[in-house]
């Protein structure tokens, strides 16, 4: 297993399969790569099926055991089922999607070996949903979530970005997942770095405080040290956990970055050490196994935590701050 200079082992990869999308969400960071708008046809620049599979086979050699497929909208790739089928068996395979193509395809994804899906759903109100996503496909998304639950792609995590347009819908969404088996909620702090519009920010600490008040139990997840709140677990008739609500709050959060164990791959086949950075793109040449190995090792060796005092000025020169290694990571009590 590879470890970076900040003691972070790399256990997962996040692979963007395309930058195309059928939505145009007002906040979209597109994994740090900018606009999703453009032609809907497969781009020449996208990694081929074989490239993606070869990449996964190589990183498996380094004990990478998790892969997240994302985009753009990854379900625009017609070879998604094939990619999943050919993903090494040792890897947990998950997908983040806007959900519109899940109806009619969820079963096939499950059969191909997909473990679970996350579906972006920012509101339970069709009009608000349409305004945020610039699409009227609310019903399709609801249908997609049901199809995923029915196919056993569970837990289905609903991804809701908490920002000015959605803050009023948080409570309703928490109730929704608490009442519906198979669903969990991820409340994502709005990341303004890549989209501008800092005026849309909502103070995520207020959401933590509110959830801490109503939760029966709180855990900390290994990944990013994220907090998980269990709501209404007593009321759950099936003995399950009731509603599980996780807060994804990376912004200016050193502890989040200190627990970051994933390397990213862009749809064009560049490695990237951090979601928020665009100055660390590393090509993998012709994507031969040797080139992938070399680029992967170099990417891990050059990873830095985005938030955190990882660079300091010494005699006018920027140098890595060894003190960062002493950041209080807080005890992590929950496993993934």
Ligand X SMILES: C[S@@+](CC[C@H](N)C(=O)[O-])C[C@H]1O[C@@H](n2cnc3c(N)ncnc32)[C@H](O)[C@@H]1O
Whole-number Cα distances in Å, 287 to 32, 62, 65, 200, 210: 22, 17, 20, 40, 48
- Element housing 14 (H / E): strand 12-16
Residue 159 contacts ligand X per CB under 6 A = yes
Helix axes 49-60, 289-301, angle to 10 degrees: 60
Question: Hey, is 288 helix, strand or coil?
Answer: coil
Q: What gap in Å lies between CA 89 and CA 163, rounded to an integer? A: 38
CB distance 220 to 227 below 8 Å: yes
Token digits of residue 170 = 């948080």
* HSE (side-chain half, CA atoms, 13 Å) at 93: 21
Residue 276 contacts ligand GTP per CB under 6 A = yes
Residue 118 contacts ligand GTP per CB under 6 A = yes
Q: Which of 260, 263, 284, 287 binds ligand GTP (CB under 6 A)?
A: 260
Residue 272 annotated as binding site: no
Residues engaged in binding ligand SF4 (CB under 6 A) = 21, 23-25, 28, 30, 36, 71-73, 98, 120, 133, 224, 250, 256-257, 260, 274-276, 305-307
Residues 6 or more apart whose CB falls under 8 angstroms from that of 114 comprise: 84, 93, 94, 95, 153
Fill in the DSSP letter of residue 306.
S
Fill in the DSSP letter of residue 22.
S
Write down the least CB distance from residue 224 to ligand SF4, Å.
6
Q: Residue 321, exposed/middle/buried by CB under 10 A (0-12, 13-18, 19+)?
A: middle
Residue 220 annotated as binding site: no
Residue 262 annotated as binding site: yes
Q: What are phi and psi of 157, to 5 degrees?
A: -95, 125
Closest CB to ligand X among 206 and 289? 206
Q: How far is CA 197 from the centre of its chain?
A: 21
Write down the least CB distance from residue 201 to ligand GTP, Å.
15
Residue 94 contacts ligand X per CB under 6 A = no
**Binding partner at 157 among ligand SF4, ligand X, ligand GTP, none, C-beta below 5 to 8 Å by kind:** ligand GTP
Residue 98 contacts ligand X per CB under 6 A = yes
Residue 209 annotated as binding site: no
Residue 158 contacts ligand X per CB under 6 A = no
CA angle 274, 2, 225 (to 5 degrees): 55
Q: Which of 4, 19, 31, 254 binds ligand X (CB under 6 A)?
A: 31
Site mask, ligand GTP, residues 212-251, x = CB under 6 A?
Answer: ------------------------------------x-x-
Residue 188 contacts ligand X per CB under 6 A = yes
Binding-site sequence positions for [4Fe-4S] cluster: 21, 25, 28, 257, 260, 274
**Binding residues for ligand X (CB under 6 A):** 21, 27-31, 70-71, 73, 96-98, 120, 159, 161, 188, 190-191, 195
Binding-site sequence positions for S-adenosyl-L-methionine: 27, 72, 120
């Amino acid at each position: 297993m590879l470890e970076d200079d900040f003691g972070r082992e790399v256990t997962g990869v996040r692979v963007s399969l395309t930058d195309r999308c059928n939505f145009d969400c007002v906040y979209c960071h597109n994994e740090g790569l900018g606009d999703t708008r453009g032609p809907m046809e497969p781009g020449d620049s996208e990694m081929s099926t074989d490239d993606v599979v070869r990449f996964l086979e190589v990183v498996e050699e380094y004990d990478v055991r998790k892969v997240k497929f994302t985009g753009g909208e990854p379900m625009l790739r017609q070879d998604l089922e094939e990619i999943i089928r050919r993903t090494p068996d040792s890897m947990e395979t998950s997908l983040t999607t806007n959900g519109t193509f899940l109806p009619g395809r969820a079963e096939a994804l499950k059969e191909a070996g997909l473990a679970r899906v996350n579906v972006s759903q920012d509101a339970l109100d069709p009009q608000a949903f349409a305004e945020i996503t610039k699409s009227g496909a609310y019903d399709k998304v609801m249908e997609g979530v049901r199809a995923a639950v029915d196919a056993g792609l569970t837990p289905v995590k609903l991804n809701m970005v908490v920002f000015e347009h959605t803050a009023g819908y948080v409570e309703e969404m928490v109730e929704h997942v608490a009442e519906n088996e198979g669903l969990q909620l991820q409340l994502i702090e709005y990341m303004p770095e890549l989209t501008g519009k800092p005026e849309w920010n909502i103070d995520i600490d207020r959401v933590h405080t509110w959830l801490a008040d109503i939760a029966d139990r709180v855990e900390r997840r290994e990944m990013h040290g994220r907090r998980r709140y269990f709501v209404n677990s007593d009321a759950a008739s099936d003995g399950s956990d009731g509603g599980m609500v996780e807060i994804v709050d990376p912004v200016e959060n050193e502890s989040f970055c200190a627990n970051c164990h994933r390397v990213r791959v862009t749809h064009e086949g560049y490695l990237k050490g951090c979601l928020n950075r665009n100055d660390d793109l590393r090509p993998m040449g012709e994507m031969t196994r040797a080139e992938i190995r070399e680029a992967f090792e170099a990417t891990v060796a050059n990873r830095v935590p985005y938030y955190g005092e990882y660079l300091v000025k010494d005699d006018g020169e920027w140098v890595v701050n060894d003190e960062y290694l002493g950041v209080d990571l807080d005890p992590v009590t929950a496993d993934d």
